[in-house]
Amino acid sequence: MFEVGKSKFASDGIHVVVCVAFDHRIPPHEIAACRKAVINCPAVLSSMELSGTFDFMFDAVVPDMATYRDALESCSGAVAKFASRFEVNFVCEQSMRAHSTEQAVWVPSDEGLVRLDCSVIDKVKAQGDYVRIAEGGYLHQRHLAAAEKDFVAVAEHFLGVPYVWGGKTAAGLDCSGLIQTALQAVGKAAPRDTDMMEKALGDAVSLSGLRRSDLVFWKGHMGVMLDETRLLHANAFHMAVAIEPLAEAIARIEKVAGPVTSIKRL
């Protein structure tokens, strides 16, 4: 697809961003082979997996419109077989680099939510409203959100996400993965495991006078207070990220993991 010559084209050609939604009736190994063929194409500059309307996106450069039309014609059979939806966007040459700023966005990735400073983003006028990241690659604006300053608000975005032991993505996460991801999204470092967080984070406070963002620890479990009475946590009882009264959580968890071991205030 878009293979013209033996090396990658210079950036002064016609730049296109292609989004593909695969037909998932096709066997997975065939889709993987198709994706690999696209990635290895000399004209393809970068690619990434997507979630949502499209499954896969890549950007490519072709020297002229005639070559572009030839490429579309040559890959029409593959598109008909593999794609349930196919969108091509032409990127305009005019672009505007964002000024250095304290503002940021956070985006989903295989490693959880990633904080991205606006100073590393190029805003490109293109059909479909794509945003070009300075390091390479594109994101659609619908996949971006203004960065939260409150890590509890970030954690609330995961409400209802399945509980998966060891998980740390929107596909599933555990109790410490939820808190670490939320803290990282607002620029705060945190260890990965519950016992490490309990030792490293915040100052100890008592059960009386709890407030939003207080971290509640048990042996092998943790959560964060939404307010004075409600706890947000990824847990195996609900098998999801859930909100419940802290008193109910304490009574239930105490039967299997013992009492609350500490409460930390950041």
Which pair of tokens denotes residue 210? 């709890």
User: Which domains are assigned to the chain?
Assistant: 14-146 (3.30.70.920), 151-265 (3.90.1720.10)
Coil vs helix vs strand at 222: strand
Per-residue pLDDT, 112: 58
Max Cα distance, the chain (Å): 72
Alpha-carbon distance of 257 to 69, in angstroms, equals: 64
Q: What is the mean predicted confidence (pLDDT) over 32-54?
A: 83
**Bridge partners for 216 per DSSP:** 223, 263
pLDDT (tens digit per residue) in 115-131: 665 555 554 444 456 66
168, 110 contact by CB (below 8 A): no
Two tokens, residue 58 = 């890549």
Whether the model clears a pTM of 0.85, i.e. scores above it, the answer is no
What are the CB-based long-range contacts (under 8 Å, 24+) for 173-176?
Answer: 173/112, 173/234, 173/241, 174/234, 175/221, 175/222, 175/223, 175/233, 175/234, 175/235, 176/222
Distance CA 258, CA 261 (A): 8
- What is each CA distance from 62 to 38, 44, 70, 102, 136, in whole angstroms? 14, 9, 10, 36, 17
Q: Per-residue pLDDT tens for 161-212? A: 999 998 888 888 999 999 999 998 888 889 989 999 999 999 999 998 899 9
Pick the range with the lowest mean pLDDT from 92-106, 111-125, 173-187, 249-263.
Answer: 92-106
Neighbouring-strand partners of residue 225: 231
